[in-house]
Structure 1
């Protein structure tokens, strides 16, 4: 295990390398030799962990330029690399019975977006400042199952069903891929009977706190895992504030961070 978190370990690289799109080699006008993908990925992780701007990426570390790393992140996200990597990691956990399908937990977190851009909006919890929301669904142990980026003015409950739909079909066990938990836990922000009915219609038992009830209902015993996962996500400094005008770049960082958190869960399987 490397002392520096942005150095890609061999185990993780063996999972990622087959998923990366292949670049066609130009024989007539080859140009400058491209920076190896593994070094570029280290540069992307460096920005994700440190939260620096692309132009300040240290070239002496061999990552290539910030623009090179930005382009690869964009291209890999468009190719669905992070989605497929997440599916691979979830399948490993599922095969080892390390995913808790007895329940899932949903929540959201607001981050500021000083440069505005797509999927931003005035936040009602931050004096109307422009921001975005990270909407997250985890299994009962806090492993990320899906994440969605929206504007800061979107109501949490509007993303409840999209989050359930975003759970990928997880393989790794005999039979059909699993994508539906037995129950769903959430806080008072999701308290709408119409959504409870729609969750029940999907064969999932809703355990949603009701507005006006006293604290201490016991649901927090199960909901704390998603708050811990948000703490892990915001441990990546680039995700604490959204500096990207382009929503796809911030979403790529968000999905990559979920992959890293899921990969950490797989290490205990060895």
Structure 2
């Protein structure tokens, strides 16, 4: 059992792999690290809830028979709290030369990282934001606007990933706010027109993935034991150095 105290959500940011398969292999190794399993027993599958396809869609952790061990919840059981249970939920996002992973037992998770420059291109606001967010951006100091815009957008993307909707949903149907004028605190999802789940069950937390990038994690905690324990500021996020994951024993792709 790993003696380190674990947060609610693990986030790993690393250089982007040369291929999609390389990033998914890294996600599988990270999942084995969290679960305390032999990396050779864990792989990342895919499933699309809309068409049933297995060559695209949400990443899923698949564990080979016999791969589980008594330490499988060790890294996600905080001191003084009940042992974690249930499947490990994962998400992956890429931006520029970076890849971000999110892993948790709380419930479905979504992670999104974006380049501040990418969300500042012309016409972006018109397809990404609703009236309340346009008003917030109009009141934001010009030197802060690019960062606020990226934080609003990653919050929407992360929320849509954690529910499995993705950009099949018009992002303007979601309304996100940023405490402190966008300069501090985690984003909050205030409304979602046509949402299939309770809006207050989706909790968001921002993190810093690296220079020029903005990141947000979203967790759907509806109906889970952890739902009542999450604060208004979202899940506790623990950023794990990529080197800790890469020290896992090697495995063939």
In terms of fraction of residues, the more helix-rich structure is 1
In terms of fraction of residues, the more strand-rich structure is 2
TM exceeding 0.5: no
TM-score (norm 2): 0.29
Is the radius of gyration larger for structure 1 or structure 2? 1
TM-score (norm 1): 0.27
